[in-house]
Amino acid sequence: MGKERILTGITTTGTPHLGNYVGAIRPAIAASKNTDVESFYFLADYHALIKCQDPEEIHRSTLEIAASWLALGLDTDHAVFYRQSDIPEITELTWLLSCMTAKGLMNRSHAYKAAVQQNEEAGEDADFAITMGLFSYPVLMAADILMFNARQIPVGRDQIQHVEMARDIAQRFNHHYGEYFVLPEAVIDDNVALLQGLDGRKMSKSYGNTIPIFLGEKQLKKHINKIKTNLLEPGEPKDPDSSAVFQIWQAFATREQTEAMRVDFTNGIAWGEAKKRLFELVNAELAPARERYEELLKAPQEVEAILRQGAIRARQSSQPLIEKLRSAVGISALA
């Protein structure tokens, strides 16, 4: 038996922000240092097409996300880092799995149901603007996972259902054709912070309230100054637990620094002072990677070479497995 595999995908839309950093990138890079496991991290560019049909954005975002992970210290000698679209076996497997996936299972997908509900509320046809891509999204995601027989799938809570569907699909395939797939499990890290954005709602590209990871210092300061606070004056006690400033502080600070800031809030630290310290803390953590990030953006061929290397490694697993699977379903040379 080989090592246990951890796998996760990153959809290539938008510019990575502090919420992505704290919630996904930082823990994934840390986990990839554990040599008892094999980590597979990939850019889910086919998934991106479901949400975004702007070719320039897809292309730009793929570079920005790859450069962010590399600049922040992903060790690609250890982790396998690749682009979904470089692995043709994944789309091939998507079809094999589609033929083992109950349509009724896909009907239950939260993402699809939410889109239908929105249409109904707007008085539209239930399927208005819903593509087959959105509907079959969980099958593509199942192929991503099952292609590499990964057991542990670190995801956000919104993705748990998709991992469970991958498991259902794997079970059905195994039951019908034989034991080809490891059954995957979603791994949810409760210690990972869900960051609030500038307006106090969850930091998310869809709310336009994000702080991108790699802003220049001036811009970073500006964004932090925009974080919504209340009108309490310096000297008036402030509630740390309802403050986005405190919450972001906590995601970057040591335990001691967090406790000290909690005391400062109770003692009425001025918002301006708290934000100034927050800027310094966040900047200190990100500044070393920022330079490397800028270099990589200017040298996309470097990023490209790393991803191609990753694809070669990934395909060492996917090519032999797809051969077995084709043969399992009855597709193989006649003589």
**Residues near ligand TRP (CB under 6 A):** 7-9, 11, 44, 47, 141, 144-145, 153, 155, 159
Q: Which is nearer to ligand TRP, 37 or 145 (CB)?
A: 145
CA 309 to chain centre: 21
Q: How far is the CB of 87 from ligand TRP (least distance, A)?
A: 12
The Cα–Cα gap between 253 and 177 comes to 51
Measured between alpha carbons, how far is residue 20 from residues 235, 248, 290 in Å? Answer: 34, 13, 16
Nearer to ligand TRP, 110 or 175 (CB): 110
Q: Residue 239 and residue 256: Cα distance in Å, rounded?
A: 18
Residue sitting closest to ligand TRP (CB): 9
What SS3 class is residue 323? Answer: helix
CB of 258 to ligand TRP, least distance (A): 28
Alpha carbon distance 131, 41 (integer Å): 26
User: Which residue lies nearer to ligand TRP by CB, 44 or 74?
Assistant: 44
Nearest to 98 by CA among 129, 134, 162, 143: 143
User: How far is residue 296's CA from residue 72's CA, in Å, rounded to a whole number?
Assistant: 12
Q: Are the C-beta atoms of residues 331 and 99 closer than 8 Å to each other?
A: no
Residue 111 or 260: the one with the smaller Cβ distance to ligand TRP is 111
Nearer to ligand TRP, 169 or 215 (CB): 169
Least spacing, CB of residue 42 vs ligand TRP, in Å:
8
State the nearest-atom distance from the C-beta of 11 to ligand TRP, in Å: 4
Least separation in angstroms between CB 197 and ligand TRP: 17
CB of 334 to ligand TRP, least distance (A): 35
Compute the residue count for the chain: 335
* Least distance CB 143 / ligand TRP (angstroms): 9
Return the bridge partners of 43, or none: 10, 83
Smaller CB separation from ligand TRP, 144 or 264: 144
Cβ closer to ligand TRP: 186 or 274? Answer: 186
End-to-end, the C-alpha distance of the chain in Å comes to 32
DSSP codes, 121-156: HTT--TTTT--HHHHHHHHHHHHHHHTTT--EEE--
